[in-house]
Amino acid sequence: MSDHLREELQKRSEAISTTAPAGLGLPDEVHVYHSLYPLEPGGPERRKWFGGWASSVYKATSKIDGSPVTLRRIEGFRLMHEIAFSTVESWNKIHHPNVVALREAFTTRAFNDHSLVFAHDYHPNAQTLASVHFVHKPAPSSRTGRSHHNPGSQPHIEEQVIWSYVSQIASGMKEIHAHHLAIRTLDASKVLVTGKNRIRINCCGILDVVSYDPRQSVEAYQQEDLVSFGKLLFALCCNNPSAMNNLPKSLEIIARHYSGDLKNLALFLISKPNPNKNVDHIFEKFGAKLAAQLGAAQVYADQLEGELMGELENGRLVRLLCKFGFINERPEFNHEPQWSDTGDRYIIKLFRDYVFHQVDEAGNPVLNLTHVLTCLNKLDAGVDERIMLVSRDERNCLVVSYKEVKSCIDAAFGELARRSR
């Protein structure tokens, strides 16, 4: 496994196991979830995210299956229409690689108020598109030495990366619209980056409950999704979340740095709603661009599969080592003749010494990891190659094949398994 991938996975594992320090005043349990850990700092700006309601988000652990989840809490919210929960059942059916899955929604008083909580899948160390592309470190001024912040001065996102984002958002949107639902929260602060150029639409289903209005049609919301998609595209191309405030300037920037296809797509998305405007049009008109992203995704999948094959080898060797540990020198069988240092168990014991306990001419231990891995791989494959096993007192010598040693291990482990039942 590459060092970069190993480090990334280790960081994700650490994020999953992180626990909150004492004194935060969080409840021990909320519904079927425990071990809450805050994922976002509080702030007044979050009070406008979901219909003006204050919200907070936590990592938690399900006591049903032990899996980590994200809990989005809408604070001080009283549910007025139970029928609003009906859309949650529809969202439960959506399992798409570019959509953060909604597991359930429920009301609770665990926070000493009336709260509405949405449980989504947890993606460790995820960032939002806004934090990745729109939050920059201040650069020092060349004249004064003081720092200044100018989003437009930052390097523009590569067009290939933007097309990757477009393909993923369009794919997730197509799945959502096909279920007669709408995103309604599509902006840079609610799209998660969960890996290199890997994004997922987040916070789905929240406004369907918080701002429930049976008079509004889903089709109207879907048209709003397309416009929001266009606004997000303008923001990414201009590297400025407020790009739509100056449309002529933004179009000039896009024309200068990107292809005409990307500009035409952005204009299509922000155009007025009409019956012919839908997400399928993106695939019909820009399919060639999106096909290139599919190829890149498959190349990356091949790379990960190669890494997985290497880890598969490690798993095989661990299973062999576990069998050695179960079989060798079991104290409860010290007085049983069939478990003494004779027969199959004796061969296994000598083979263990051959693999792990070799010494040089001066009697010093030899720590040769290559020798260990080579022997274990040959043992797992059961090759016919013969080796000489010598007892520690050098009085006994056996010539056996890896295949025969493997048969001895399988037989001894099988007998142990039968005794354990």
Closest CA to 264 of 132, 166, 156: 166
Of all helices (H) and strands (E), which one includes residue 60? Answer: strand 55-62
In the annotated binding site for ATP, the residues are 72, 121-128, 189-190
Pairing of strands 68-74, 115-121: antiparallel
How many angstroms separate the CA atoms of 149 and 13, rounded?
Answer: 34
Q: 3-state DSSP call for residue 332?
A: helix
In the annotated binding site, the residues are 72, 121-128, 189-190
Q: What are phi and psi of 50, to 5 degrees?
A: -130, 85
Closest CA to 166 of 280, 295, 265, 284: 265
Beta bridge partners of residue 50, listed in sequence order: 53
CA distances from 151 to 155, 160, 191, 243 (A): 9, 20, 19, 10
Say if CB 358 and CB 351 are below 8 A apart.
no
- CA dihedral 294→298→300→301, nearest 10 degrees, is 130
Q: 3-state DSSP call for residue 229?
A: helix
How many angstroms separate the CA atoms of 262 and 285, rounded?
Answer: 11
How many angstroms separate the CA atoms of 130 and 228, rounded?
Answer: 14
Q: Which residue has the tokens 């999106």?
A: 290
Q: Where are the alpha helices (DSSP H) in 278-384?
A: 280-285, 287-327, 343-356, 369-381
Q: Which residue has the tokens 């790379």?
A: 303
How many angstroms separate the CA atoms of 242 and 111, rounded?
Answer: 35
Say if CB 129 and CB 188 are below 8 A apart.
yes
